[in-house]
Every structure is written in C-alpha cells, then in structure tokens.
Amino acid sequence: MENLTKHQIVLLTLLVSFVTSMATGIVAVSLMSQAPVGVTQTINKVVERTIEKVVQPSSTSTSQQIVKETVVVSTDDQVVGSVEKNSGNIVRVYRTNIDPSLGLGSMTFVGIGIIVDEAGIIATDQTIITSEGGKYFSPDENDKLREMKILRSVSGEQIALLKINFDKNVSKSSISEGDAKLGQSVVYLAGEKNNIVSTGIISSLGKITVSENASSTVQKISNIETSISQNLVSGGVLLNLSGEIIGIKSTYINSSKNNLFAPSSEISKALSLWKDSQKKAE
C-alpha cells in the first residue's frame, strides 16, 4: 500500500466498493428468495402513481396548465379504498318457509350477495337457492326485512340473480372486465353479521376450453382459487385493489374444493342472459 500512487489508491478503493456492493446485492436477493410471502409483500407495499392536475390561469397568464404529480399509494390504502367502495353494496340473504313479517318461524342465513345493477339486482352463489322452495329476505340497516325476488336461478350455473325493491337510489359495484391474473392481490369481503375482510393472492386458476366458432377454440377461466381459506361464505365477494368484483364465492358441484370463486365473467353472463330474456318477453 505504501508504494501505491494516489491514482492507484483511488482505483483500488473503487474496486473494493464495487465488489462490496455486488456481494451485498447477492446476499439480499438470496435472503429475499427465502423469505416468507408475507415479508416480500410488506416490502413491496408502496407503489407510485402519476396524476395530472389542471392549474387554473393566474392573473398574469390566460391559459391553463397541466402539472404532473407523483403520488405514493400504499397497498393498505388500496385495500381500504376497495372495501369502502363496496361495503354499502353487500346484502345478507336469509331463507324461510314462512313469511317472517307475520312473526312466525325463523330465518336461516344462507349467504352473501352484492348489488351489480342500479335496479337493485344482486349476484350471489347459485347453490343458496334451494329446490325446496321458500322465501328469501334481507334486513336493511334498521333490521327491516325486505323480500327478495329470484330473477334467475339455473341449475348447473354458478351465479344466481336476486332483486330487492329499494326505497332510495341504489349504487352498484363495478364488475371487472379483465381476466384475473395468477399472483394478483385480492380482497375478500363477506361476513354473516358484520363485514369481514381478508386479503391474499390468486394462487390458482381453473381453465376450460371453449369453442369460439366453428374453426377455433379459446381458454376461459372457470374458477379462481386464492390463498384465503378462512371465513369463506357462499356469495362472498372477491375484489381487486381497484375495488372491482373479480369473483364470487361459489360451490362447484364437481369439485371437492370449497374455496373456489366464480369469475366475474359469470356475473356478466348471468346479467346479459336475464336482460335478453326480459327483452324477448316484452
């Protein structure tokens, strides 16, 4: 070291710093690959979003200006926003053989529904509609019972449609138009008495091959499986971080798994078929 020139010392220092940083990076990557899923999700909790703001003209300028601004959004904020966006549209479904308004009999909780149309149409798991008959009710925020009308319930399908006549304007939840993705973060919203929230990722996607036309076929998602396995209720809603419905907890007769969700495409399909039937009936 005593015989090195200043130039050589600088170069040696740079070399040592480079080797040290490379070693640190390798160790960090190795530790991250061995870390539990929860740790990596926590580290990747912050995303950036660029928004544009229109600035009104000042006294010295006559034209508007568009200013771009980077906003830091945490995953926690996205989950909270997704829940708040849909909590008011959750409907709890009860079944009884006797009109409870007469003060007779008792009601049985059978599942969750979510409002998907301004007319008060509710999407839920097909299997909560039994072949034994009976009436379906949902209590409002004041525990007043509202009878539910069955709009569409077809054996073999995953989604049933119900309807309530509301006394006020109804907001609806948005249905995702895009396919669910493997590894996508999701929010589960349900609960028999109060809203219960769970978060996780899409761990598996069931797919089927469907004929698009006489000469071609496409693969479509038939069911969604997530890392969420606790407190699952029939009709419980699966949301993306934008607050859109990507699935509904459904019972698949031909599967032994009880944690599967029907994809949002099944909701859109049921709504479309019902509306088509209404047009034909007119």
C-alpha 244/C-alpha 238 separation (Å) is 8
The residue ranges of every structural domain in the chain are 6-34, 89-163, 185-281
pLDDT confidence of residue 59: 59
**Torsional sign, CA 27, 30, 33, 34:** negative
C-alpha 156/C-alpha 139 separation (Å) is 28
C-alpha 63/C-alpha 81 separation (Å) is 35
Task: Calculate Rg over the CA atoms of the chain.
Answer: 27
Q: 269 or 15: which carries more pLDDT confidence?
A: 269
Residue 171 has pLDDT above 60, yes or no: yes
Segment 162-186 mean pLDDT: 90
What are the start-end ranges of the H helices in the chain?
Answer: 6-34, 37-43, 75-87, 264-281
Q: How many CB atoms lie within 10 A of CB 172?
A: 17
- Three-state secondary structure call for residue 141: coil
Q: Give 71-109 pLDDT, tens digit per residue.
A: 566 888 999 999 999 999 999 999 987 666 666 567 889
Superfamily for 185-281? Trypsin-like serine proteases (2.40.10.10)
Q: Give 27-59 pLDDT, tens digit per residue.
A: 665 655 555 544 444 434 555 555 555 556 655
Segment 201-220 mean pLDDT: 86
Cα 39 from chain centroid? 22
Residue 210 has pLDDT above 70, yes or no: yes
Confidence of residue 218 (pLDDT cuts 50, 70, 90): confident
Segment 182-195 mean pLDDT: 94
Class of domain 89-163: mainly beta
User: In Å, how far are 38, 49, 72, 78, 241 from 45, measured between CA atoms?
Assistant: 11, 13, 10, 10, 12
Using CB atoms within 10 Å of the CB of residue 173, give its burial: 0 to 12 exposed, 13 to 18 middle, 19+ buried: buried
Q: How many CB atoms lie within 10 A of CB 140?
A: 12
Q: What share of the chain is helix, strand, coil (3-state, %, to 5)?
A: 25, 35, 40
Q: Do domains 89-163 and 185-281 have the same CATH topology?
A: yes
Confidence of residue 121 (pLDDT cuts 50, 70, 90): very high
Residue with tokens 């944690």: 259
